[in-house]
C-alpha cells in the first residue's frame, strides 16, 4: 500500500482500524522525505516521531481511547514552535533557535495523537510567494522541480503534493497557504481571522496571520482545521468559531466584476470561463460588485510591512540566537546583527513598513489603508447578501520557473492579488485544484465566504469538485 497516495482521513481510518500501524506509516513518510530531500520541502525530519508512533500503536493495541488524528504524520512550517525542536523561519537569524514552548496548534494536534514528523521550508519570515527567499535553498515544486512551489508555505505544499506527508501546516498572511496549494495542485484554506490561535507562531502581520492545514483533499482539510480551531487564552484575537452548518441544496456563486476584469487584462487563460459554464448546471451564478477590492493588494503592502516592521524589531541581536561579532556598542549590535541576519526581501519590507509608519506619511498611507480595509470589508459583506461565495482563480496562472520573478519584487507581489482580499477582510477562503494548464501544471480555484461560514464554503468546494469531475450530485 502506498501511503503517499492516501488522504489524512484514509490513513487515520487504516490506523484506527488496525489495518496498519502508525510506525509503518511514519517510517514510510520518513523514507519518502529522505528520498526526496532534493526538493528542499522538508528541512528537518523529526526522527523521534517513530518512538511517538510506537506509543500510539500501543495505545491502539491496548484498546485505549485514541485521538482524532491518532498516528497520522503532520509536518509543520518552520515558523511554528514545538518545544525542544529547532525553528528557524528559514532565516540565517534564527538558525540555532530552539523552541522554549509549544504553539497552541501543535498542542491541539498532539492532543489528538498526531505525529509531528518534521518542519517545512518557507520564505524567510513568511515573506514571499515562491519559497525562494530561504536560507535552506529554494524549495522545488514536487510536480516539476524546475518550477517554484509557491510561497510562503511552499515547503508544506510541495511536501503534500510530493507524498512526503499527508498533511502539512502552513500560515497565510496574504495567500501564503492558498497560492502554494494552487501551484502544487492541492487544497489550501485560510479560515476566518481568529479561528486558529497564533500563540507560538512567529508573527509576521498579526492582524492578518492565520495558520491552517494543506492537504490532498477537501474533507481532510476541514477535519484538521476543526482540530486546530478554538478560542485560546494565549491569543486575545481568537474567536469561538462554531462552524455552523448553514448548508443549502443549491448555492449562488458570485463572480466579482472587478477581479475578473483584472484577471482578463492579464491572462488569456480560458479554463475559468469554461468552468463557470459547467457550473451553471449546479449553481446559480451572479455578478457581484466589490468596487474597492482591487485596492486590497496595495493596502496589504502598506499594512503587512507596517506590522512586520514592529514584529521584527524583536530580532535585535540581544534576545534571539544571533549576535554580530565586532560590535562596539548597543546600536551596532542592533544594526550589524540585523543587517547580517535578515535576507533581502525581509529588509525590503522592514524599510517599507518604516516608511508608511514614519512621520509625515503615516496618515497618507497607514491610516488610509486601514480605512480602505474597512471599506473592502463592508463591500464584501454587501456582496454576500447576493451570493453564498465568491468564485475566482487563486492565481493568474500556474507555477512559474525558479528564478523567474526573484529580481522583480513587484511581479512577485502581484501573485497575491486574488488571495489578499480574504486576509484584508478577515473572511475564510479556500483554494482547490480544478484544471491542468498547457504546461502540465495545475490551476487552483478559490472561494471566498462570509466570516464564520467555513462549513458552507467547504460544502460549496465539494459541490464544485463533483461538478467539474462530472460526478452525480
Partner 1 sequence: MDKIEHLEYLSKLEFTGEEKENFKKEFENILKFVDEIASLELPEGLDKDTPITLDDLRTDEPQASIPQEEALSNAPKQKDGCYLTPLVVE
Contacting positions for partner 1 (CB under 8 A): 96-98, 100-101, 193-194, 207, 233, 236-237, 292, 295, 298-299, 301-302, 309, 313, 316-323, 327-331, 333-336, 338-339, 342, 347-348, 350-352, 354-356, 358, 364-365, 367-375, 377, 409-410, 413, 426
* DSSP reduced 3-state for 366: helix
Shortest Å, Cβ 210 to partner 1: 11
Shortest Å, Cβ 229 to partner 1: 16
What's the distance, Cα to Cα, between the start and end of the chain in Å?
Answer: 30
C-alpha–C-alpha distance, residues 219 and 12, integer Å? 13
Shortest Å, Cβ 32 to partner 1: 32
| Closer by beta carbon to partner 1, 145 or else 409 | 409
Q: Which residues contact 415 (CB under 8 A, 6 or more apart)?
A: 129, 130, 150, 175, 179, 395, 396, 405
C-alpha–C-alpha distance, residues 285 and 283, integer Å? 6
Cell of 33: 522525505
Sign of CA dihedral 291, 297, 303, 307: positive
List 153, 156, 158, 176, catalytic entry: 176
Q: Which residues contact 154 (CB under 8 A, 6 or more apart)?
A: 41, 121, 122, 123, 130, 131, 139, 148, 180
C-alpha–C-alpha distance, residues 394 and 190, integer Å? 12
List 22, 91, 103, 152, catalytic entry: 152
| Closer by beta carbon to partner 1, 2 or else 359 | 359
| Closer by beta carbon to partner 1, 282 or else 354 | 354
Instruction: Tell me the residue length of the chain.
Output: 473
Shortest Å, Cβ 104 to partner 1: 14
Shortest Å, Cβ 427 to partner 1: 12
Shortest Å, Cβ 376 to partner 1: 9
Q: Which residues contact 134 (CB under 8 A, 6 or more apart)?
A: 40, 90, 121, 122, 123, 124, 128
If residue 168 lies in a helix (H) or strand (E), which one and from where to where?
Answer: strand 167-172
> Long-range contacts of range 410-414, CB-CB < 8 Å, 24 or more positions apart?
412/128, 412/129, 412/130, 413/129, 413/297, 413/301, 414/297
C-alpha–C-alpha distance, residues 292 and 287, integer Å? 15
| Closer by beta carbon to partner 1, 283 or else 365 | 365
77 is catalytic: yes
| Closer by beta carbon to partner 1, 207 or else 267 | 207
Shortest Å, Cβ 369 to partner 1: 5
If residue 389 lies in a helix (H) or strand (E), which one and from where to where?
Answer: strand 389-393
Going by C-alpha positions, the residue among 139, 189, 182 that lies closest to residue 164 is 139
Place of cell 511581479: 411
Shortest Å, Cβ 384 to partner 1: 17
| Closer by beta carbon to partner 1, 209 or else 217 | 209
4 is catalytic: no
| Closer by beta carbon to partner 1, 276 or else 298 | 298
| Closer by beta carbon to partner 1, 282 or else 321 | 321
Is residue 85 within 8 A of residue 47, CB to CB? The reply is no
152 is catalytic: yes
Tell me the sheet residues that pair with 141: 144
C-alpha–C-alpha distance, residues 470 and 366, integer Å? 47
If residue 348 lies in a helix (H) or strand (E), which one and from where to where?
Answer: helix 344-357
List 77, 85, 216, 456, catalytic entry: 77
Among all residues, which ones are annotated catalytic?
77, 152, 176
Amino acid at each position: 500500500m502506498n501511503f503517499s497516495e492516501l488522504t489524512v482521513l484514509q490513513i487515520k481510518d487504516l490506523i484506527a482500524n488496525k489495518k496498519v500501524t502508525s510506525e509503518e506509516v511514519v517510517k514510510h513518510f520518513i523514507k519518502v522525505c529522505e528520498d526526496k530531500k532534493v526538493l528542499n520541502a522538508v528541512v528537518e525530519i523529526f526522527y523521534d516521531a517513530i518512538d511517538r508512533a510506537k506509543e500510539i500503536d500501543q495505545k491502539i493495541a491496548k484498546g485505549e481511547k485514541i485521538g482524532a488524528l491518532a498516528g497520522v504524520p503532520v509536518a509543520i512550517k518552520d515558523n511554528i514552535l514545538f518545544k525542544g525542536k529547532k525553528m528557524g523561519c528559514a532565516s540565517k537569524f534564527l538558525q540555532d533557535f530552539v523552541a522554549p514552548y509549544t504553539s497552541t496548534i501543535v498542542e491541539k494536534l498532539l492532543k489528538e495523537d498526531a505525529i509531528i514528523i518534521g518542519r517545512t521550508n518557507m520564505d524567510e519570515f513568511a515573506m514571499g510567494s515562491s519559497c525562494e527567499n530561504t536560507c535552506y535553498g529554494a524549495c522545488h515544486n514536487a510536480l516539476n522541480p524546475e518550477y517554484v512551489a509557491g510561497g510562503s508555505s511552499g515547503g508544506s505544499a510541495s511536501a503534500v503534493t510530493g507524498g512526503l506527508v499527508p498533511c502539512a501546516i502552513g500560515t497565510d498572511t496574504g495567500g501564503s497557504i492558498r497560492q502554494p496549494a494552487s501551484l502544487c495542485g492541492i487544497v489550501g484554506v485560510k479560515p476566518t481571522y481568529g479561528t486558529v490561535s497564533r500563540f507560538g507562531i512567529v508573527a509576521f502581520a498579526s492582524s492578518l496571520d492565520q495558520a491552517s492545514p494543506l492537504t490532498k483533499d477537501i474533507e481532510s482539510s476541514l477535519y484538521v482545521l476543526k482540530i486546530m480551531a478554538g478560542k485560546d487564552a494565549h491569543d486575545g484575537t481568537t474567536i469561538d468559531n462554531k462552524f455552523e452548518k448553514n448548508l443549502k441544496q443549491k448555492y449562488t456563486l458570485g463572480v466579482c466584476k472587478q477581479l475578473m476584469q483584472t484577471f482578463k487584462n492579464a491572462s488569456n487563460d480560458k479554463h475559468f470561463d469554461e468552468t463557470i459554464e459547467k457550473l451553471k448546471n449546479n449553481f446559480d451564478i451572479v455578478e457581484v460588485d466589490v468596487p474597492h477590492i482591487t485596492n486590497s493588494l496595495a493596502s496589504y503592502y502598506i499594512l503587512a510591512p507596517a506590522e512586520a516592521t514592529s514584529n521584527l524589531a524583536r530580532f535585535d541581536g540581544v534576545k534571539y540566537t544571533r549576535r554580530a561579532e565586532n560590535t562596539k556598542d548597543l546600536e551596532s549590535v542592533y544594526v550589524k546583527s540585523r543587517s547580517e541576519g535578515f535576507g533581502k526581501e525581509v529588509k525590503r519590507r522592514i524599510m517599507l513598513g518604516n516608511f508608511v509608519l514614519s512621520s509625515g506619511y503615516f496618515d497618507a498611507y497607514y491610516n488610509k489603508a486601514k480605512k480602505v480595509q474597512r471599506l473592502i470589508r463592508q463591500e464584501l459583506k454587501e456582496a454576500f447578501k447576493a451570493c453564498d461565495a465568491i468564485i475566482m482563480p487563486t492565481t493568474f496562472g500556474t507555477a512559474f520557473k525558479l528564478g523567474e520573478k526573484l529580481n522583480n519584487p513587484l511581479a512577485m507581489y502581484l501573485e497575491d492579488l486574488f488571495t489578499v482580499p480574504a486576509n484584508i477582510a478577515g473572511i475564510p477562503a479556500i483554494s482547490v485544484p480544478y484544471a491542468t494548464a498547457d504546461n502540465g501544471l495545475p490551476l487552483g480555484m478559490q472561494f471566498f465566504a462570509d466570516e464564520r461560514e467555513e462549513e458552507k464554503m467547504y460544502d460549496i468546494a465539494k459541490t464544485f469538485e463533483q461538478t467539474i469531475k462530472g460526478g452525480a450530485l
